Amino acid sequence: MANDTSAVSDALSPHSQSVADPFTPPADSSLWRKNFLLGAATASYQIEGAVNEDGRLPSIWDTFSATPGKVLAGDTGEVACDHYHRWEADVDLLAGLGFEGYRLSIAWPRVMDAAGAPNRKGIDFYKRVLARLKEKGITTSVTLYHWDLPQHLEDRGGWLNRDTAYRFADYADLMSRELAGSVDAWATLNEPWCSAFLGYGNGHHAPGLADTRYATQAMHHLLLAHGLAVPVLRANDPASQKGIVANIGRGTANSGSAADQRAAHLFEVQHNAWILDPLLKGSYPRDLFELWPGTEPLVLDGDMQTIAAPLDFLGINYYFRTNVASDGAHGFRDVPLEGVERTQMGWEVYPDGLRDLLTGFKATYANLPPIYITENGMASDDKVIDGHVEDSQRISFLKRHLAAVDQAIKAGVEIRGYFLWSLMDNFEWAFGYERRFGVVHVDYATQKRTIKRSAELVSKFLKERKARSE
């Protein structure tokens, strides 16, 4: 059979059953626990499309992707996966595969006008999506900010403007009042490192500014926005969990020299501690400003206490490691390793990095909250051949990273769930549509969804685990 969405009711084809299962975890794995949540994740700008419909305002990614040379092949999110119109079938696909949780984000420009008033059509869209997810028994994890800042706020300075943090709190207030009771977990921000550094530090992402001083100030305002939003979310939707999602990176030294070891430490300071220290210690790491001297942000009285608001969970996104050496001054330089496995993105496949970071965080932060792996996955150049997509590297990638999660759990880290990235192929930011992260293939010309081999095997495991627990 052709395993497209018409066959979701039986996600495992005869073709897949004839091949030995290379995915199912061993019997002693923590992943068999009934209360370990397994889900899939997406983000609004990457899948929704419909950028000009029902009152949605322009975002910084609409502007950035329309700027020549910013996105590979000139791709934009104008149509993406057309999820705005196909959401019912996509939710049915998610449920048919057996996923227990779904992480989605809300498009800020879709739910508020420039004056901050509610856009009812946009809000109602998310109400319908969440209601259907609940009907299917799927745990809902909602991210308020997955990079699509309204352009009118960027025109007033974006995350360099402290006022944006207060506008974010207004947005969090509106959405948590409108969606109270339909969201199991709220995440304020997705990957503030990317928003701050890629958006304002090196210009690779929207809005495309490039100054390290901008990056540190943008980060401060992003984290302030998070801290301002948490008590609002607690007041409006007390039954839900509240947290934030950080992308983490493993840095390893190119040699045993003290200089290279210091370089690896500084890599992890700027990639991990820059975010986690303010959240969990109430201060920025001093070493950050050794790396970037003279870039200290403007911090007002009370800001750090606001940022360090207690969390119910910490979302962790992990993809690869970076091997570094000293740059001969006070920083580091990348030294790519030869002969290692890499993905379509050119990222090294390094599951041990996830385990090592998680156990390291447990040792570093006495108040480390429960963790969800909110993104983990890989891009590959997937093709549909005779109705099937064989993505063997992804199957191996997922199995090995889930094994690393299991190792961290057995080492004492409280990890409550795992969301693979991503449910379906989508707009991969500056790389457009060339890089495919989904476990479901999307033909962008026809919008046909085709279940990949990885999705078949994950589905098989999910259904077997459910059957065991009944």
CB 1 within 8 A of CB 9: no
Q: Both tokens of residue 160?
A: 């360099």
Q: Which one, of 225, 123, 96, 99, lies nearest residue 182 by Cα?
A: 123
State the catalytic residue, choosing from 375, 390, 434, 470.
375
Angle between helices 163-178 and 212-236 (to 10 degrees): 30
DSSP conformational letter for 424: B
Instruction: Record the pTM.
Output: 0.96
Token readout for 297 is 């942000």
| CA dist., res. 283 & res. 296, Å (int) | 12
Render each residue's pLDDT in the chain as its tens digit; 470 residues: 344 444 443 333 433 333 457 899 999 999 999 899 999 999 999 999 999 999 999 999 999 999 999 999 999 999 999 999 999 999 999 999 999 999 999 999 999 999 999 999 999 999 999 999 999 999 999 999 999 999 999 999 999 999 999 999 999 999 999 999 999 999 999 999 999 999 999 999 999 999 999 999 999 999 999 999 999 999 999 999 999 999 999 999 999 999 999 999 999 999 999 999 999 999 999 999 999 999 999 999 999 999 999 999 999 999 999 999 999 998 999 999 999 999 999 999 999 999 999 999 999 999 999 999 999 999 999 999 999 999 999 999 999 999 999 999 999 999 999 999 999 999 999 999 999 999 999 999 999 999 999 999 999 999 999 999 87
Instruction: Tell me the C-alpha distance between 440 and 15, whole Å.
Output: 17
pLDDT of residue 330: 86
Q: Do 377 and 348 form a contact (C-beta atoms < 8 A)? A: no
Distances (CA, A) of 449 to 2, 6, 313, 438: 11, 9, 32, 10
pLDDT at 10: 38
Residue 112 confidence (pLDDT)? 98
Which domains, ranges and CATH numbers included, belong to the chain? 5-469 (3.20.20.80)
Q: Please check whether residue 371 is in contact with residue 314, taking contact to mean a CB–CB distance below 8 angstroms.
A: yes
Alpha carbons 134 and 372: distance in angstroms, whole number: 20
| List of residues 6+ apart from 432 with CB closer than 8 A | 71, 72, 73, 74, 75
58 CB neighbour count, 10 Å cutoff: 17
Given this model, what pLDDT does residue 141 score?
A: 99
Long-range contacts of 69-74 (CB under 8 A, 24+ apart): 70/208, 70/430, 71/429, 71/430, 71/431, 71/432, 72/430, 72/431, 72/432, 72/434, 73/432, 73/433, 73/434, 74/432
Residue 242: its H or E element: strand 241-253
Alpha-carbon distance of 178 to 181, in angstroms, equals 9
Rounded CA-CA distance 47/143 in Å is: 14
User: Which residue(s) pair with 348 in the sheet?
Assistant: 342
Mean pLDDT of the chain: 95
Share of the chain above pLDDT 90, in %: 94
Give pLDDT, residue 410.
98
Q: What is the DSSP string of 10-36?
A: G-S-HHHHTS--S-PPPTT-GGG-TTS
CA distance 204 to 22: 37
State the Cα–Cα distance between residues 356 and 248, nearest whole angstrom.
11
**How far is it, in rounded angstroms, from Cα 2 to Cα 16?**
11
Known catalytic residue: 375? yes
The one-character DSSP state at 59 is: B
Res 88: pLDDT:
98
- In angstroms, the CA 361 to CA 10 distance is 40
Burial of 352 (0-12, 13-18, 19+ CB in 10 A): middle
| pLDDT at res. 470 | 79
Cα four-point dihedral sign 106, 110, 115, 119:
negative
In 270-344, alpha helices (H): 274-281, 286-291, 303-307
